[in-house]
């Protein structure tokens, strides 16, 4: 495991994590807010490195990626932890968990890539690995190390992320992510506040999307989960689509919310709302898809 990357030492024994805008100040042995990084020996280390809670073979369309290698399958892998607390999280059992809350097993990068390569031998539609389910970038070093080996094995790398990281993380992954789907949860600081995000997160997510949209080595798609009463206004949908259109031809997914976790008491988003917001987005974008409808 790589230790101490993306961190600073504040005062004696306290380390500052620079992976995401939360910039946790962690005393010796303390766990970061994401529950996947810990302060050890004056550095913040990715404790969740290689700790896999979920692994499955998925069609690439399920990530969702609509315009990247259609028909391909990817070995999808997730760990635990997240730097956000979206009350509507569909994977909250692992995203809001620490090492003692979930069952995990160690799958080091060479083993994961061997698994994916073996899956490809059995089925040539298997073309790569997706880092997904929880927030993979809270242990971005694992993504980097797996992705390097995957490329050496001729496999592609797919990242499914909330995009809420500092630029140094993206520097560390440069040239390694072949396709990404980044969540754009809403289009305001207030929405990101409601997701338990640290101040500045909305700006960082936009910066991540802008950077990946401009990266010729990475295919980018963006997803917004539409939640009744939170981000389902035509004005917000229009603002997102207009902004995305300024970044190029970015495929955009508008997906339907189903009640879960802290929002189990809300009704699902009406299908008509999702379809309407997709039509709104089509005023600006060429490739708009609805999901969960
Ligand atoms: S990645 Fe985790 S430990 Fe680092 S700043 Fe973000 S929440 Fe804190
Ligand atoms: S960013 Fe994704 S994984 Fe994290 S809490 Fe929000 S929905 Fe769940």
175-216 pLDDT tens trace: 999 999 999 999 999 999 999 999 999 999 999 999 999 999
Please say if the pLDDT value at position 2 is more than 60: no
What's the rounded Cα separation, in Å, for the pair 140 and 19? 9
Q: Which domain holds residue 119?
A: 48-291
Going by alpha carbons, the residue nearest to atom 8 of ligand 2 is: 89
Domain for residue 28, yes or no?
A: no
**pLDDT the model gives residue 7:** 73
Which atom belonging to ligand 1 lies closest to the Cα atom of 23? 5
**pLDDT the model gives residue 3:** 43
Please say if the pLDDT value at position 143 is more than 50: yes
Among 58, 69, 78, 62, smallest CA distance to 219 is for 69
- Tens digit of each residue's pLDDT (9 = 90 or more) over 29-53: 999 999 999 999 999 999 999 999 9
**pLDDT the model gives residue 8:** 77
Q: Which residues pair with 47 in a beta bridge?
A: none
Domain for residue 217, yes or no?
A: yes
Domain for residue 117, yes or no?
A: yes
In the chain, % of residues over pLDDT 70: 97
Domain for residue 13, yes or no?
A: no
Burial of 47 (0-12, 13-18, 19+ CB in 10 A): buried
Domain for residue 279, yes or no?
A: yes
Measured in degrees and rounded to the nearest 5, phi and psi for residue 52 equal -100, 130
Average pLDDT, the chain: 96
Q: The dihedral of CA 100, 5, 222, 189: what is its sign?
A: positive
Please say if the pLDDT value at position 16 is more than 90: yes
pTM: 0.96
**pLDDT the model gives residue 1:** 39
Domain for residue 221, yes or no?
A: yes
Q: Which residues pair with 219 in a beta bridge?
A: 179
What's the rounded Cα separation, in Å, for the pair 138 and 150? 20
Which atom belonging to ligand 2 lies closest to the Cα atom of 83? 4
Measured in degrees and rounded to the nearest 5, phi and psi for residue 19 equal -75, -40
Determine whether the shortest distance from the Cβ of 37 to ligand 1 is under 6 A. yes
Structure tokens at 274: 């999702």
Q: State how many domains the chain has.
A: 1
**pLDDT the model gives residue 93:** 96
**pLDDT the model gives residue 103:** 96
What's the rounded Cα separation, in Å, for the pair 238 and 234? 6
- Tens digit of each residue's pLDDT (9 = 90 or more) over 227-260: 999 999 999 999 999 999 999 999 999 999 999 9
**pLDDT the model gives residue 187:** 98
Q: Can you state the angle between helices 234-245 and 271-282, rounded to 10 degrees?
A: 40
CATH number of the domain bearing residue 189 = 3.20.20.70
Domain for residue 121, yes or no?
A: yes
Q: How far is the CA of 149 from the centre of ligand 2 (A)?
A: 27
For ligand 1, pick from 36, 138, 200 the residue to mutate: most ligand atoms within 8 Å of CB: 138
Please say if the pLDDT value at position 79 is more than 90: yes
User: What pLDDT band is residue 10 in, cutting at 50, 70 and 90?
Assistant: low
In the chain, % of residues over pLDDT 90: 95
Domain for residue 127, yes or no?
A: yes
- Tens digit of each residue's pLDDT (9 = 90 or more) over 90-133: 999 999 999 999 999 999 999 999 999 999 999 999 999 999 99
Please count the other Cβ atoms lying within 10 Å of the Cβ belonging to residue 46.
28
Determine whether the shortest distance from the Cβ of 83 to ligand 1 is under 6 A. yes
């Amino acid at each position: 495991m790589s230790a101490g990357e993306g961190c600073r030492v504040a005062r004696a024994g306290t380390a500052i994590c620079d992976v995401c805008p939360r910039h946790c100040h962690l005393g010796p042995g303390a766990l970061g807010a994401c529950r996947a990084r810990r302060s050890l020996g004056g550095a913040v280390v990715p404790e969740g490195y290689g700790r896999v809670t979920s692994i499955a073979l998925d069609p690439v369309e399920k990530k969702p990626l609509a315009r990247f290698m259609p028909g391909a399958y990817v070995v999808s892998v997730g760990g635990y932890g997240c730097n956000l607390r979206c009350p509507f999280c569909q994977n909250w059992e692992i995203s809001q968990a620490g090492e003692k809350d979930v069952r995990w097993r160690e799958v080091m990068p060479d083993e994961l890539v061997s698994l994916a390569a073996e899956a490809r031998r059995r089925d040539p539609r298997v073309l790569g690995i997706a880092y997904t389910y929880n927030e993979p970038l809270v242990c971005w070093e694992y993504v980097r190390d797996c992705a390097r080996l995957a490329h050496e094995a001729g496999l592609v790398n797919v990242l499914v992320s909330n995009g809420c990281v500092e630029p140094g993380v993206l520097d560390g992954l440069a040239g390694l992510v072949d396709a990404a789907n980044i969540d754009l949860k809403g289009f305001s600081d207030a929405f990101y506040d409601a997701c338990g995000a640290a101040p500045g997160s909305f700006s960082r997510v936009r910066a991540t999307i802008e950077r990946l949209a401009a990266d010729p080595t990475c295919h980018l798609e963006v997803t917004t989960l539409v939640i009744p009463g939170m981000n389902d206004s035509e004005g917000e949908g229009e603002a997102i689509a207009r902004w995305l259109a300024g970044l190029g031809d970015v495929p955009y997914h508008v997906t339907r919310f189903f009640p879960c976790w802290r929002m189990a008491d809300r009704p699902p988003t009406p299908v008509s709302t999702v379809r309407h917001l997709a039509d709104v987005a089509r005023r600006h974008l060429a490739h708009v898809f609805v999901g969960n409808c």
